[in-house]
Structures are given as structure tokens and as C-alpha cells.
Amino acid sequence: MYSKITGTGGYLPAKVLTNFDLEKIVDTSHDWILSRSGIMQRHIADASEAASDLALHASRRALEAAGISAQDIDLIIVATTTPDQIFPSTACILQDKLGNKSAVAFDVQAVCSGFIYALNTADLFIRSGQARNALVVGTEVLSRILDWTDRTTCVLFGDGAGAVVLQRSDTPGILSAKLHADGSQRGMLAAKGSIRNGSIQGNPFISMDGQGVFKFAVKVLSEVVEEVLMENKMTHADIDWLVPHQANLRIMEATAKKLNLSLDKVVITVAKHGNTSAASIPLALDTAVRDGRIKAGQHVLCEAVGGGFTWGAILIKW
């Protein structure tokens, strides 16, 4: 028994914040942001929109593409670092907004690797026979946990959601996945604040050792891609599309170079989306499916690294 992605969907909030807009907020420049990260603009959620609202739009589009209804879904996994509330989970809120009453629903917290963790989990649910039709969503309103006076972080992130429908199949879809974590590196990228007795303790905004993250990311991403390829007795030449977490163009370029992979085979959306954490891979998948780049039968390799640290890769036969 296998699982296969049968529909994708994405949603970006209407408000666009360009690098030129950011020049008016912090001491930065369009050229600095573009040359260091490849980002030109990002979308920012309206005050009325929560992560579950972005997820709802993306999910409806994925369900429509798969040709099934919300009632058919028996598993909902939401990857997010910016949940609507402390609890219940954003997945339960999404289930209610979709009008579904029967799906198992829970969140996965693995920051930027969240979608890879969630997709791997959904695949295991389906292959074990515990689910038939899964909705796997990455959704983020990172703008809410950015310090808009800190130019080293606020220029890099954006809001958005991406979703896939994963269904039981007789033919292979998800071929294999590798996940990793190293909690000893958790200080390098974090929002360290916590809520105690009704007030926030510590810094609730994203803080990051940019250069540390950069070096760590390039090292582990190429390693985990090699690991997945080796397990499937495949080489780089067998990859039709690399769909990386869209953190930074230079990380994607460095990883592609290490893997000896032409940038023509890498799906890149960071210029328009910024870093949308758990939403970036499903948004990139949806972009490349809808513009006709990703086609049935092709091998697609997704990889991500994020706070925790967590990292992983997943190989898909589309």
C-alpha cells in the first residue's frame, strides 16, 4: 500500500510588503535584502486572519484539485509554528472550519521542517491502513512573531499556507523520507518566550544566528538528500525537481552546487514569498504543479531545515 499526492493548494494573503516598503520601516535596502537572501517581497496576513484561515483557503484549493470533499478526509495534520491559540490545535480549528467531523486532527511543530515531518507522518498513517485520505497543511503567520525593529530577521519572513491531499494508492507516490533533529542546536534559531501566569516571559520574537544557520543548513541538507537518494539507489541525475524549503536563495544555490544539480531543476519561490517556514514547500509544490513544471511520473525531492534544529527530506514519485 502506498500514498500519493492527488491535489495541491496554496494561499497568500492579499497584502504585499516589498523590500522598498521595508526601507521605510528599518535601516535596510532592497539591494541588501535581494543580494543576501533573494527575497523581493513577502505577503502579510490581515489582522483578521489566523493561521487556520490561511490553511482553510489552501486546503479548499487542494481538495478541489484532488476532486474530493472535506467530508472524505480522515486525517488532518497541520505543520505550524504560529498556531491560532495555545490550544486546541490549529488542525482541530481547521477541521471545524472545513465542516469535517470525523478526521483525526493534530499539529506538528518542527518549524521550517514541519511540512516534511507532517507529510512523512501522513504517509505512515496511510501505509499502515489507519487513514485513507489525508490533508497535510503548512501554514504560518510569522509576521506576528517578528520584531519589526530588528532588521536582521524581519526582512526574511512572510505569511502563507500550502496544502496537499495525500490518498491511498496502489502505485508508489511517497517513496521514502528521512527525518533528523538535534536539540542541542536549539539556541541558533528560536522564539524563546513563553507564557507564564498570564504574561509573556522572555523574548517572544524570532532571534537567529544567521551565519550559524546558513552553515548548518548547507551541510545537513546535502547530507540528507544523499541519504534519501542512496536508500532508493538513485543519483542526482534521477531528480526531476528539487523543491527546497524557501529560506534563502543562497542556501538553495549552495545546496544545489554541492549536489551537482542545475538550478533549472530547483523550484524557487523565495523572491515572491519570502521564508514562510512550514508553508514554503507546499506553496512551492503548488506553484510548480499549477504552472506545469511538475508532471505525473516525475521524481520530486523536497528538503528542509529549521529551528530545533530539525531537518529532513522526502522523495516523491509524482
List Cα–Cα distances, 26 to 84, 171, 203, in angstroms: 27, 51, 19
**Residue number with CB closer to ligand UT7 (95 or 113):** 113
Contact 163, 135 (CB under 8 A): yes
Footprint on residues 4-63 left by ligand UT7 (CB under 6 A): 28, 32-33, 36-37
Nearest to ligand UT7 of 70, 213 (CB atom): 213
Q: Is 214 in the site for ligand UT7 (CB under 6 A)?
A: yes
Per-residue string for binding with ligand UT7, 164-203, x by CB under 6 A? ----------------------------------------
152 is an interface residue for ligand UT7 by CB under 6 A: yes
Residue with cell 544555490: 253
318 binds ligand UT7 (CB under 6 A): no
Q: Site for ligand UT7 (CB under 6 A): which residue of 171, 197, 199, 211?
A: 211
Q: How far is the CB of 189 from ligand UT7 (least distance, A)?
A: 6
Angstrom distance (rounded) from CA 58 to CA 139: 9
Q: Give whole-number Cα distances, 248 to 121, 138, 181, 303, in Å.
A: 26, 18, 21, 13
Q: Is 275 a catalytic residue?
A: yes
From the list 282, 293, 299, 314, the residue with the least C-alpha distance to 61 is 282
Smallest CA-to-CA distance from 151 within 249, 29, 27, 43 is with 27
Radius of gyration of the chain (CA): 18
245 is catalytic: yes
Per-residue cell: 20: 522598498
Could you please report the per-residue DSSP string of 108-149?
E--GGGHHHHHHHHHHHHHHTTS-SEEEEEEEEEGGGG--TT
- What is the C-alpha separation between 116 and 177, in angstroms, rounded? 8
107-146 footprint of ligand UT7 as x/- string (CB under 6 A): -----x----------------------------------
Active site residue 112: yes
Window contacting ligand UT7 (CB under 6 A); options: 117-125, 137-145, 207-215, 233-241: 207-215
232 binds ligand UT7, rule: CB under 6 A: no
Catalytic one among 43, 120, 133, 245? 245
Binding residues for ligand UT7, per CB under 6 A? 28, 32-33, 36-37, 112, 151-152, 155, 208, 210-211, 213-214, 247-248, 251, 275, 306
- Which active-site residues does the annotation give? 112, 245, 275
